[in-house]
């Protein structure tokens, strides 16, 4: 595809100034606007690359392919396509939730393009797998029931999940942003992305990665517990875990200053 086609396909925007590049990858049901508070903390000193995955935000939904985007590797291809189109190198990639794993897949596929990966509230697997000593937080039947709700009552599903993600944030506007984003996403695209997010197991991708990783988690996250963060730090060869004194699964929005401070310290100490 031509550069202009990829920029349009993924609604790519470039902001800020600086020699170093920060690329922000949004999570499931979200779009690039979720990064606004964090972008404001970095755009004076970094070049910022924002985008929407195909099927999310203001991307070109006509490019959505169910088979491709039924696996997280399809979303990693979006990241790599954008990096190739813009000739990006030494990228500091920041991924929220499932995009932490998508970012890891992209970095493993083309390690020469990336300098670091910041994982905001990550999880490689949301399932409880007690026989393997792993607890992602959810039983399979509970996740299947939640996904079925998308088919039977999509608006109700969005109104349920929004407050869970933000942990009933004191700023109701943040919760409303999530609910509105969910509701504005095409239900077919959302269901495909949801299944790829919540029913997948990418734990096997953690070992062997050498990219420097900053794992940021909150003390109380209904979707990704600190136990998951500890597990990921142990599996990744070059990872730092920072549990922030906040709650919820969207700390880049509810606690942007704390998140930015931790990221800035990581970059200053390592790069």
| Torsion angles phi and psi, residue 230, rounded to 5 | -65, -40
Q: Which of 56, 59, 97, 181 is catalytic?
A: 97
CA distance 113 to 111: 5
Token pair recorded at residue 27 = 């999570």
Residue closest to 32 by CA, chosen among 4, 13, 55, 9: 13
Among the options 26, 92, 96, 249, which is catalytic?
249
Q: List the end-to-end C-alpha distance of the chain, in Å, as a whole number.
A: 33
The torsion angles phi and psi of 45, rounded to 5 degrees, stand at -125, -5
The residue annotated as part of the active site, out of 52, 78, 81, 221, is 221
d(CA 62, CA 258): 38
Cα separation, 200 vs 72, whole angstroms: 9
Q: Is 249 part of the annotated catalytic residue set? A: yes
Is 26 tagged catalytic? Answer: no
Tokens describing residue 1: 């595809």
- Cα–Cα distances in angstroms (integers) from residue 231 to residues 38, 152, 235, 261, in the given order: 26, 35, 6, 24
**Alpha-carbon distances of 36 from 15, 41, 151, 161, 255, rounded to whole Å:** 11, 9, 30, 21, 12
| Residue 96 known to be catalytic | no
Environment class of residue 200 by beta-carbon count within 10 Å: exposed (0-12), middle (13-18) or buried (19+)?
middle
Could you give the residue numbers annotated as active site? 97, 221, 249
């Amino acid at each position: 595809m031509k550069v202009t086609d990829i920029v349009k396909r993924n609604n790519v925007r470039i902001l800020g100034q600086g020699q170093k590049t920060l690329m922000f990858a949004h999570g499931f049901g979200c779009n690039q606007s979720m990064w606004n508070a964090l972008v404001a903390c970095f755009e004076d000193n970094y070049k910022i690359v924002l985008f929407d995955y195909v099927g999310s935000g203001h991307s070109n939904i006509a490019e959505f392919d169910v088979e491709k985007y039924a696996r997280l590797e399809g979303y990693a291809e979006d990241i790599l396509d954008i990096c190739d189109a813009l000739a990006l190198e030494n990228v500091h990639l920041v991924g929220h939730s499932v995009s932490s794993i998508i970012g890891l897949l992209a970095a493993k596929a083309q390690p020469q393009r990336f300098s670091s990966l910041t994982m905001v509230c990550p999880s490689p697997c949301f399932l409880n797998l007690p026989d393997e000593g792993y607890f992602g937080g959810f039983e399979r039947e509970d996740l299947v029931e939640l996904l079925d709700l998308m088919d039977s009552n999509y608006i109700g599903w969005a109104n349920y999940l929004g407050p869970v993600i933000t942990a009933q944030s004191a700023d109701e506007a943040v919760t409303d942003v999530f609910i509105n984003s969910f509701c504005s996403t095409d239900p077919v695209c959302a269901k495909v992305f949801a299944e790829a997010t919540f029913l997948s197991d990418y734990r096997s991708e953690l070992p062997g990665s050498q990219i420097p990783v900053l794992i940021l988690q909150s003390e109380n996250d209904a979707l990704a517990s600190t136990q998951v963060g500890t597990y990921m730090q142990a599996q990744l060869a070059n990872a730092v875990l920072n549990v922030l004194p906040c709650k919820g699964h969207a700390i880049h929005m509810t606690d942007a200053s704390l998140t930015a401070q931790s990221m800035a310290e990581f970059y200053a100490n390592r790069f």
